[in-house]
Amino acid sequence: MPYDNLILELKGGMGIIRINRPKALNALNAATCDELLAAARDLADNPDVRVVIVTGQGDKAFVAGADIQEMQPMNPMQGMAFSNKGHMAMSFLERMNKPVIAAVNGYALGGGFELALACDIIYAAEKAKVGFPEVTLGILPGFGGTQRTARLAGIARAKELIFSGKVISAREAYEMGLVNKVVPDGQLMEAVEGLAAAILSAGPVGVGLAKACINRSVSMDIDSGLDFEAEAFGLCFGTVDQKEGMTAFLEKRKPTYRGQ
């Protein structure tokens, strides 16, 4: 499918989605949310893709938020429809059974930071700035920011960041536990692709099931989570990958995984 607002690249097991609206610093409008969901579905269905990377085209912005121009005249029903589009795309990335890495190359504000937080892992360039300016626009984060920030950074830090609308550096976000790694400017994609390479050498079934287990850990009590983990662990023993991984270890060779 051709995309107007993003660029989709396939590169050695990686599916790279670049949000591409340079005139609006890659802000998310409804059409971009639709395309993001379509691209994520494409990559989920493509057996050659084992890691997904989301980034912003250009060197200034990851995504500078939801599109203020498009939102300004919305009525409540249009606002809800827009919110649903954003939620669908971000929840899909969060729940798909392939790891998703956000490469935050510049401004990740409002809906842009919410998109990064819906990814499994965030690497950010030193110059990147993140935050939730929504309250300065008379609204609140509407693409999951109130929920995901509190879970990652704790309630007090989430409240401080969201109530103040303060924009913070990548390093401050790292110190709050919102970003996995801060990388020198110009080395972001190299670092992200290095992480992707490590994931690509692992068994895709195990990685996908581990993602599902870890996601469940925030919404389940410990016993239910451990039961879920035990079932996922057991499932691996019916897969080609488990036989291949353990046989390769015993034969002292590198495994070749098929994701089956």
Residues known to be catalytic: 114, 134
Site string for ligand DAK, 184-213 (x = CB under 6 A): ------------------------------
* Contact residue for ligand DAK among 15, 56, 110, 245 (CB under 6 A): 110
**Residues paired with 125 in a beta bridge:** 183
> CA-to-CA distance for 225 and 221, rounded, in angstroms?
6
- Strand ranges, E, within the chain: 6-11, 14-19, 51-56, 61-63, 100-104, 107-109, 121-125, 129-131, 167-169, 181-183
Minimal distance in Å, beta carbon 200 to ligand DAK?
32
Site string for ligand DAK, 9-38 (x = CB under 6 A): ---------------xx-x-----------
* Contact residue for ligand DAK among 8, 43, 66, 90 (CB under 6 A): 66
Minimal distance in Å, beta carbon 183 to ligand DAK?
20
Minimal distance in Å, beta carbon 37 to ligand DAK?
15
Q: Which is nearer to ligand DAK, 6 or 196 (CB)?
A: 6
> Of 106-114, 194-202, 215-223, 250-258, which part binds ligand DAK (CB under 6 A)?
106-114
> CA-to-CA distance for 188 and 104, rounded, in angstroms?
8
Q: Could you say whether residue 229 binds ligand DAK (CB under 6 A)?
A: no
What secondary structure does DSSP assign to 221-244, as a single string?
-HHHHHHHHHHHHHHHTTSHHHHH
10 Å CB burial of residue 155 (0-12, 13-18, 19+) is exposed
Largest CA distance in the chain: 65
For residues 125-184, which are near ligand DAK according to CB under 6 A? 133-134, 137, 139, 142-143
CB atoms within 10 A of CB 203: 21
Minimal distance in Å, beta carbon 18 to ligand DAK?
17
Q: Which is nearer to ligand DAK, 56 or 65 (CB)?
A: 65
Q: Could you say whether residue 64 binds ligand DAK (CB under 6 A)?
A: yes
Interacting residues toward ligand DAK by CB under 6 A: 24-25, 27, 64-69, 79, 82-83, 86, 107, 109-111, 133-134, 137, 139, 142-143
